[in-house]
Every structure is written in structure tokens, then in C-alpha cells.
Amino acid sequence: MIRWQTRQKVVKGALGGVTLLFLAYQWFPMLTMAVLSFTGPNGGTTFPMQDVSLHWYRELLRVQMVDDFKPPMLRSLLLALACSVTTAALSLAAAQAMRARFRGNGAFFYLILLGVMAPGLLVGFGVAVVARILGLPLAWYTTTFAVHIVWTLPFGFLTMLAAFNRFDRRLEEAALTLRANRWTTFWRITFPLVLPGVIGAGLFGFTLSYDEFARSFFSTGSEMTLPLVIFAQFDRQLQPTLYAIGTATTVISLTTVAVFAILFRLVRLRTRAAVSAETQ
Amino acid sequence: MADHDLELKRVTKRFGSFVAVRDLSLAVEHGQFVCLLGPSGCGKTTTLRVIAGLEDADEGEVWISGVRMNDVPPWKRDIAMMFQDFALFPHMTVRKQVGFGLEMLGRPKEEIRRRVGETLATFEISPLAERKPDTLSGGQKQRVALARALITQPRILLLDEPIGSLDFSLREAVMLELKDVQRRLGVTFIWVTHDQNEALALGDRVVVMNHARIEQVGTPEAIFERPLTRFVASFIQGNNVFEGVVESVEGDCVRIRTPVGSFAVPPRDGGPPPPGANVSFSVRAALLTERPGPEQANRLPATCHAVEYLGSIRRYDLRLEDRRSIKYEQFGAQAARIREGEVVTLGWQVEDGILHAPPEGAG
Amino acid sequence: MNPRKRSLVSHVLALPSALWMLGALVIPTLFIVWVSFWTTRTFSLESPLGLLNYTKFFNRPTYVKLLADTVQQSLLLMAITVVLGYAIAYFVVMKVRQPALQLGLFLALVIPFWTSVLIRTIAWIPFLGVTGVINQALLFLRVVDEPVSVFLYSRTGITLAQVSFYTLLATGPVVYTLRNIPPSLPEAARSLKATPLRVFWRITVPLTLPGILIGQILVFLNVMADFATASAIGGNKHAFLGNIVILLYDSGQLPFASVIAVLLMLCMLGGVAALLKVVDIRRLGVP
């Protein structure tokens, strides 16, 4: 007769094993790619690695490569920046609007959430079709930008909704009784306190746009974003340069997240310190 | 001799380095209403959970109806439990909830349907049968939780602060209802609370706990009138606690010197403490008088600081020389009111003082 | 500010977002539907409307099979991720006691999502090929004598990669709903004679059902429209509906491509409709 406590422990162990195996499963490919990117000049695209060097990274920066990767990377970064700011602004406005429960806000909510449900393929295709019909040219700073926002806005929106949910309405009411009008109240009281949410929305805007591939696929013209260039390169031939750029761009993505996260924490800590200082 | 319904033998439970229950022993007879009383963190809830089997004792044994339960999981123990937040299953109707325990026991459908119907009627919740918990009021949820627990006819019902989340006005009524149910059904109740009014009103036996230990076990009267330790005296309202050093022991009388005076207190069973020992004792506020006569050998001057009117009782907050508070209660409207700032001399009979047992580990 | 003016301000604040979503999402979708009814083969604004392209689709067995394949792949992923996703969610939420470890596990699971799916897809190539890591490991462990070619350019490879991408979609919502279960509920069930297995099936799973469903819908939608994984890992030997849309678009057959897009959308709407019947998404946001 097995003790029931032992049985529970076995279950826990099994589930833990599955989780850890999955973690490895998820991380291994990326780590492998990162490791392989340091292979020597004669190294192929798989193991065993010949030498360890920064050869392929240097290849990235060579003149020939510069044409291939540098402009697209710049475009991706600019696009991501634009998406970041736009997402933050639109999310803030949309979430603030939601607080008033205006007529049709249920439909509005679902309209925005539609952006998550709609797959990138279809959205990109749709915009391409419209552009074709209207005779508009496709470009990364117009059509692709529009499509990216459709994807990032719901995430930013939900983040802001959560931030407003945690926000204490009574602080605004207190400000109003102290002779502040709504505009001032918003910028001096509400905004600083939901700033972490705004930063979060901006983060989504940036990383989701920078990494985005499927949505850009149809909607970008001849001047491509980085993921598209990577894909095109990949179609032609698989070289360790691809691993190098893949690793490099992943590092950029993760660093951005880390920076935003630190910013987020700093703002949160500062607001919390200020609030507790007030209430002491 | 009949088995106890419940026996805890030197149970210890730790969470990391924190000892929640230390070397606790307790025996409960069948049909008793036992209250575990104490402040937050004293270990009463942990004790309850060990009885239920939701926590495992690190040391010691749990016996229910004469059977050792240490390795028996909660679903195999002859217990049922009521939680402070009622823990009703949000996705089930009242009918399904109440029948849940019987379903788990594998009773036939017909029997379940019949017994659920009867139980709903007994607890007067039949009209709620098809409702879901989120549509019920606090009092209704309480009844459903009770019905759900008792339908399995457990030997022991464990209740974790069951009326704590009810509206104040409801509590008294529900308290009496539960006491009535216990008496009618004869189920052993173990009720955990930090509210002494609940414990003293409901329990046949009260177990006062503090810092993972039992301080005192007794009837409500015993706890109230003869607190055994300093903690129990301070915890139970209406006691005045004094600390001092034993001056001398004269026959039936222990003389104790405190910062506010010297007093005579009868010794405990088990012999008087030696001179020089640090002791504490208490006197109930109701046993003091502001017009001490020759029987009230102990005297204590005090200044009136504030007075509380509680209907037929006046409760005074009197201050001593060292600015400590003394509680004094006056009964009846006839007694003359002591005015604020007035100095009175309180007195009490020697035999009304209760000497406390020393804290464990003390010399 | 009177209520009417306040409502006006709200409408003004909501307008940009609403217009954007309408203009970049809703209207293009309507256009796709319109174009799908064109009866010409190529692009022509004056094209008469009819079901020609739809009948063309359903008359070609290859295309119908494609639709079936895509749905099948989605169902396969749903089946895998529902179990795997739940197991992971259950472990991290219910079985891990130390908050630091829990947070660490969450981060380890979620961080890959902050990178590009394309990069992650590409990263799978060195794994799956004939000279890839998996084969090398198998050879090393002497499980096989020759490299197995079943991984790359195959459904299996695509499935393997997709599991690594989409399982978290199934885990996330389940984590959320699991955390919302008060701990006293399973304890109450246990005190009512329910064994751990029965507590799981009768209490935990029903209460996390909304999370399971949302996760499944997300997996379904993503796999249905996935073309990058099929393209990168399947080579040109395997295609799902998404890949065909690209093919047709590249060869200028917009109407036919639109038909496929519309069919994809219909499948997805069907899935979402099923979800909305069972759970109210908005209520999940409010604790």
C-alpha cells in the first residue's frame, strides 16, 4: 500500500519532469543556434563546429552584408519605435475612454480584441488587396505600420486596462475636490500612476513590431524589414551568417525587454515610495 | 472505556523554522462542543488542519475514534470541515454541492437524491436548491456549507472561524443555530475562533492557545473565573493582571509585592511558589469594590480616568500610580458614579485573587 | 463636466483606435470577401460577381484536401497542447511552493516569446536535418544506424516545431484561471471524501474550463494561419492553406487567393463562436 503522500510526490515529480523537459525543448533550438553562430569560417550549419570565432558576425558587418542587413535593421528599429509610441498613445486613450462606459463600449472592446484573433497572414493579405484596389503603393512606413498597430494595439490596450483597474479612482476624486480640473487631474495624478502600464504598452508595441514577420510579409514593399530579409536569405541558402543575425537580433529583442522592464520597475518603485511617503 | 472521538498526542507541526504547534496533547469526548480560542498565529487553525489531515504532523499522533490517523488522507477520515469563506463550489448548484460528499462515498443515486432533499429541508434551504453560490447571501451560504458538511454524517465537524465573515447582526443568530444543531445531532464540534465571546458562549470546553501551545483547557466558567496563566488572564476580558515578586508565604496566603502595592493571594494547587519568585496574578474587574470593608483585605488606590456606560454595568478605566489601567465594573444604577479625576480605593477579597502558573520554562 | 460632455470626450478618445482597427482590419476583410466573389482569374475591378472561384476550389480535390490537412494539423496541435499546456500550468501554479522558483519558471517559459517566431523557426533547422542535432544524438546513442530523414521537410518536423511555439498559448490562460481558484475549494472537496484525482476532475478542471477553451482557440487560430513554419521546416514539400494564399498572390490570382482567405476566416470564426458560447471573455478580466 503506497502512502498517499508518496503518490502525491510522484505526481509532482512527473509534472515537474514534463515542465523541465518542455523548457529544454523550447530553449535548446535557440541556444544551439546561438552556439553555432560562433562557428569558424569553414564550419557548416550544423555540428560538429570547427573552431570558435566571431567570423560570421564580422561577415555581417562586411560591405556586402551591410547592404543586406543594415538598412532593413534600421527600418525595423524605426518602425518598432513608431509602433511603440503609437501603441502607447492609442492604448492610453482607448483605455481611458473605456473607463467612462460610453455607449457602444462593448463593441469597441471586441473590435480592438479582434486584432489578436486575426492572424497575420490574413491581415497582411487584406491590406495588400486594399492597396492594390486603391492603387496605393505598399511601404514599410505606411501599410506595414498600419498592420503592425492592428496587432500591437490589443496587447497595449489590455495592459492599460489592467493598469487602470489597479488605479484607485478616489485619488482623482480627491484632486477634483481640491480645485483641479479634469485635464490637470489626468496629467498630474492619473498619468504618473498608470505610467507603468504605458511603459508596458510601449514595450509590446516595440517588441511585437520588431519581431513581426507574418504581418509584414504582404504589406511591405520592396524595402523590407529585417525579419523579411532574414526569411529571404534563408530561402536562398542557409549560412551561419543567418545564425549570427538571428542571435544578434534576438539579443536586441531581449535587451529591449530588459531595459523596459527595468524602467517599469523604477517607475513603480518611485511611485510606491512617493505614495507611502505621503501616507506616513 | 469508550474511545475518545479525538485524541492528539504530542503533536508538533513546523513550517520551515517556524513552529506552529508544539507538543500539543488533547482528548475530546464524543458529542462535545470544543472551542480552540486564541490570537492569530497561536496555532489553532493549524491544529484543526492537522486533525483534518490537510497538514501532516511532524511529530506526534492523531487518533480519531481509536484509530491512528497519521497516514490516513483527509478523504478517508471521518470528519467534515467548514471554512471561513464557506468554500462553496462556484460551478455547482446547491443541490449538487450538498450531494457531493455522498457522491464521493459512492452512494446510489436514489439514496443521494432522497437524502439531499431531506437535508435541504432540515436546514431550510430547499428553495435554493437550483441556485448557484454566487447568488446566495452570506447567511444562506453558511447554511449550504453546513448542510454539505453534515450530510456525510461525520463523527467530528471542524469549523474554522465559521461566522467570521458574516455580518455582525447575523452572527449571534447563526451562533445559536449552530449550537442547537450540535446539540440535536450530537456531532462532536471543534470550533476555531479568536473571539472569546463566541468561545465562552458556545463551548462545552474551551482550549485557550498561545504561541503553539495550550495555555488552559476547561469549561467556559473555569476559563473565565479561574484563568490558569498570565496569558489567559490577559486574553479573557474583564481581568486585571498584576506582576510582582513573592515576598513571603504565610500559611494559606502568598504575599506578593508589586510596583503598586503589596497583596495577598491564595496559593495554587501544587504548593506555593518560593519567596523571590517572579509571579503574576489576576482579579476580575467585577470582584473589585470601591468601598472596601474588612473582608477586602487587598487595597489599591486609583484615579478615575474614564467611564463606559454599558446599560446596567458601568465599566471604569482607573489609573494606578504607574499609570497602568485597572478595569473596574459597577453593577446596578444604585451605585454612586465615580467621577473623572476622583480618587478611590479599590479592594478585593484575598480569595478572589488567582495566582497564575509560571510560563513553561521559567524557574 | 456634465455627463453628456464626458461621453463626448470618451468617444473622441476612442475614435482613433476604432478608426484604425476599422480601416486596417475590418475594411480589408470586407474587401477580401468582395474579391473572393470575383469571377475573373486575375485582378479586375469591374469583374462580375459569382461563386465561380468557390466552386473551383471545392471541385479540386487537392485544394479540399489542403483544407482538411490544415484543419487536421490544427486539431493535432490542439490535442497535444491541451494536455502538455495543462500539465505545465498545473505544475507551476499548484505544485511549486516557493514564489521565487515559480517566478523563475514563469520567466523561463515566457522569455522566448519576446523573440521573433521566425528566428525560433530557423533555429529548429539545425535540429531536424539529416546532419542535425537530433540525428547526431540518435546516432550517438545508437538508437539508429543511419540518420533518420523523417524530421526535416516533414509533417513531423512541422508539428515538433509548432508544439514548441504554441504550447504556451494553451498554458497561459490555464495559469490565470488556476490562480483564481481559492485554495479552500480543493480542501473542502478533500474533506468531503474526494480523492486527489476526483478533486482534479470535479473541481479543478471545471473551474479552469474557460482558460482551457481560450487557450485552445488561440492555438487553433495560430496553427490554421501558420505558413512560416510549414515553409521553413516543410521546405516546399508541405503546404497548408496559408502557403497556398501566398502562392496564389505571387502568381497574381487574387480572387482565388481571397477564396482561400475567406475559407480560413470562416473556419476561425466558427471556432471563436464556439468559445463565446461557453465563456464571457470580458468577465475574465475582472477578478
Q: Are A20 and A72 part of one and the same domain? A: no
The reported pLDDT for the residue numbered A212 is 86
Nearest residue of A to residue B71, measured between CA atoms: A3
**Residue B206 bridge partners (DSSP):** B35, B218
Between the alpha carbon of residue B168 and those of residues B164, B165, C129, the distances in Å are 9, 9, 71
For chain C, what is the mean pLDDT? 83
Is A211 within 8 Å of C115 when comparing Cβ atoms?
Answer: yes
CB contact B101 to C (< 8 Å): yes
Nearest residue of A to residue C263, measured between CA atoms: A122
Count CA atoms closer than 13 A to C139's CA, side-chain side. Answer: 12
- Interior/surface letters C240-266, b for 16+ CB within 10 angstroms, e for the rest: bbbbbbbbbbeeebbbbbbbbbbbbbe
Torsional sign, CA A161, A165, A168, A172: positive
Q: Is the pLDDT of residue C201 over 90?
A: yes
Which residue has 510522484 as its cell numbers? A10
Between the alpha carbon of residue C163 and those of residues A19, C29, C105, C170, the distances in Å are 13, 29, 18, 10
- 3-state secondary structure at position B7: strand
CA A156/CA A201 separation, integer angstroms: 4
Distance from CA of B146 to the nearest CA of C (A): 12
The reported pLDDT for the residue numbered C282 is 44
Size of interface A-B (CB pairs under 8 A): 5
Domain range enclosing A165: 65-279
Is C28 within 8 Å of A46 when comparing Cβ atoms?
Answer: no
User: For chain C, how long is the longest CA-to-CA vector?
Assistant: 80
CA A132/CA A124 separation, integer angstroms: 12
The reported pLDDT for the residue numbered C276 is 67
Angle at Cα C149 formed by Cα C148 and Cα C155, nearest 5°? 120
C174 — pLDDT class (breaks 50, 70, 90): very high
- Which site among C97, C192, C201 would you substitute to test the B interface, given the most B Cβ atoms closer than 10 Å to its Cβ? C192
DSSP conformation class of C237: T
CB contact B15 to C (< 8 Å): no
Q: Kind and range of the H or E element at A211?
A: helix A191-211
Write out chain B residues lying below 8 Å of C194, CB-based: 75, 100, 104
A40 part of a folded domain: no
Is A158 within 8 Å of C257 when comparing Cβ atoms?
Answer: no
- 3-state secondary structure at position A42: coil
Please name the residues between 260 and 279 in chain C that touch chain B, using a CB distance below 8 Å: none
Is C182 within 8 Å of B85 when comparing Cβ atoms?
Answer: yes
CA C261/CA C22 separation, integer angstroms: 18
Q: Kind and range of the H or E element at C56?
A: helix C52-59
C62 — pLDDT class (breaks 50, 70, 90): confident
Q: Is the pLDDT of residue C1 over 60?
A: no
CA A101/CA A105 separation, integer angstroms: 6
Distance from CA of B72 to the nearest CA of A (A): 8
- 3-state secondary structure at position B327: strand
Write out chain A residues lying below 8 Å of B70, CB-based: none
- Which site among A4, A5, A6, A11 would you substitute to test the B interface, given the most B Cβ atoms closer than 10 Å to its Cβ? A4
Q: Is C101 exposed, middle or buried (CB count within 10 Å of its CB: 0-12, 13-18, 19+)?
A: exposed
Nearest one of A231, A240, A229 to A70, comparing CA atoms: A229
A176 part of a folded domain: yes
Nearest one of B310, B348, B303 to B326, comparing CA atoms: B303
CB contact A30 to C (< 8 Å): yes
Question: What does the pLDDT look like over C121-157, one tens digit per residue?
Answer: 888 877 776 666 677 777 777 776 666 666 667 788 8
Domain count, chain A: 2
Write out chain A residues lying below 8 Å of B56, CB-based: 5
Phi and psi angles of residue A45, each rounded to the nearest 5 degrees, phi first:
-90, 0
Write out chain B residues lying below 8 Å of C190, CB-based: 53-54, 73-75
pLDDT of chain A, 280 residues: tens digit per residue: 467 788 888 999 999 999 999 998 888 888 888 887 777 776 666 666 666 777 777 766 665 555 677 788 888 889 999 999 999 999 999 999 888 877 788 889 989 988 888 888 888 888 888 888 888 888 778 888 999 999 999 999 999 998 898 888 888 888 888 888 888 888 888 888 889 889 989 999 998 998 888 888 888 877 778 888 888 777 666 677 778 888 888 888 888 888 888 888 888 888 777 767 666 5
Read off the pLDDT of each residue in B129-151 and give the average, rounded to a whole number.
Answer: 92
CB contact A251 to C (< 8 Å): no
Q: Are A103 and A213 part of one and the same domain? A: yes
CA C236/CA C158 separation, integer angstroms: 12
Write out chain A residues lying below 8 Å of C20, CB-based: 90, 146, 149-150, 153
The reported pLDDT for the residue numbered A243 is 80
CB contact A273 to C (< 8 Å): no
Angle at Cα A83 formed by Cα C214 and Cα A259, nearest 5°? 85
Give the residue extent of every domain in chain C: 60-283
What is the reported pTM?
0.84
A33 part of a folded domain: no
Question: What does the pLDDT look like over C71-111, one tens digit per residue?
Answer: 889 999 999 999 999 999 999 998 888 888 888 888 888 88
User: All 3 cell numbers of residue A137?
Assistant: 503603393
CA A240/CA A49 separation, integer angstroms: 11
User: All 3 cell numbers of residue C287?
Assistant: 477578478
Is A4 within 8 Å of B71 when comparing Cβ atoms?
Answer: yes
**Residue B243 bridge partners (DSSP):** B280
Show which subunits contact B, needing at least 3 CB pairs below 8 angstroms.
A, C
A170 part of a folded domain: yes
Q: Are A201 and A70 part of one and the same domain? A: yes
Distance from CA of A6 to the nearest CA of B (A): 11
CB contact B79 to C (< 8 Å): yes
The reported pLDDT for the residue numbered C130 is 62
Is A227 within 8 Å of C221 when comparing Cβ atoms?
Answer: no
Write out chain A residues lying below 8 Å of C261, CB-based: 121-122, 125-126
Is C20 within 8 Å of A22 when comparing Cβ atoms?
Answer: no
Q: Are A75 and A144 part of one and the same domain? A: yes
The reported pLDDT for the residue numbered C179 is 92
The reported pLDDT for the residue numbered C103 is 87
CB contact C11 to B (< 8 Å): no
Is C193 within 8 Å of B105 when comparing Cβ atoms?
Answer: yes
A143 part of a folded domain: yes
Q: Are A113 and A234 part of one and the same domain? A: yes
Write out chain C residues lying below 8 Å of A111, CB-based: 18, 21-22, 26
CA B62/CA A98 separation, integer angstroms: 56
Among A127, A227, A250, the residue with its CB nearest the CB of C24 is A127
Write out chain A residues lying below 8 Å of B71, CB-based: 3-5
Q: Which residues, at least 6 apart from A237, have a Cβ–Cβ distance to it below 8 Å?
A: none
A48 part of a folded domain: no
Is B101 within 8 Å of C182 when comparing Cβ atoms?
Answer: no
Asked if residue A167 lies in contact with residue A231, where contact means CB atoms within 8 angstroms, the answer is no
CA A5/CA B71 separation, integer angstroms: 8
Write out chain B residues lying below 8 Å of C202, CB-based: 100
Q: Which residues, at least 6 apart from C169, have a Cβ–Cβ distance to it below 8 Å?
A: C81, C85, C215, C218, C219, C222
A36 part of a folded domain: no
Q: Are A136 and A196 part of one and the same domain? A: yes
The reported pLDDT for the residue numbered C166 is 92
CA B52/CA B197 separation, integer angstroms: 25
Please name the residues between 135 and 174 in chain B that touch chain C, using a CB distance below 8 Å: 148-149, 152, 158
Q: Are A101 and A1 part of one and the same domain? A: no
Read off the pLDDT of each residue in B7-29 and give the average, rounded to a whole number.
Answer: 93
Q: Which residues, at least 6 apart from A226, have a Cβ–Cβ distance to it below 8 Å?
A: A69, A72, A73, A75, A76, A210, A245, A249
Q: Is the pLDDT of residue B303 over 70?
A: yes
The reported pLDDT for the residue numbered B118 is 94
CB contact B83 to C (< 8 Å): yes
CA A78/CA C257 separation, integer angstroms: 31
Read off the pLDDT of each residue in B16-26 and give the average, rounded to a whole number.
Answer: 93
- The helix/strand count (H/E) of chain C reads as 15, 0
Q: What is the CATH number of the domain that holds A213?
A: 1.10.3720.10
Q: Which residue has the higher pLDDT, C64 or B161?
A: B161
Show which subunits contact C, needing at least 3 CB pairs below 8 angstroms.
A, B
CA C46/CA C38 separation, integer angstroms: 9
Q: Is the pLDDT of residue B62 over 80?
A: yes
CA B242/CA A88 separation, integer angstroms: 65
Architecture of domain C60-283: Orthogonal Bundle (1.10)
Read off the pLDDT of each residue in B198-209 and give the average, rounded to a whole number.
Answer: 93
CA B152/CA B105 separation, integer angstroms: 9
Write out chain A residues lying below 8 Å of C136, CB-based: 46-47
The reported pLDDT for the residue numbered A66 is 57
Read off the pLDDT of each residue in B235-242 and give the average, rounded to a whole number.
Answer: 89
Distance from CA of C60 to the nearest CA of A (A): 22
Q: Are A233 and A152 part of one and the same domain? A: yes
Between the alpha carbon of residue B53 and those of residues A271, B37, C247, the distances in Å are 44, 20, 64
Between the alpha carbon of residue C234 and those of residues A230, B75, C41, C243, C247, the distances in Å are 17, 52, 28, 11, 15
Percent of chain B with pLDDT over 90: 53
Write out chain C residues lying below 8 Å of A100, CB-based: 6-7, 9-10
Nearest one of A223, A15, A201 to A95, comparing CA atoms: A201
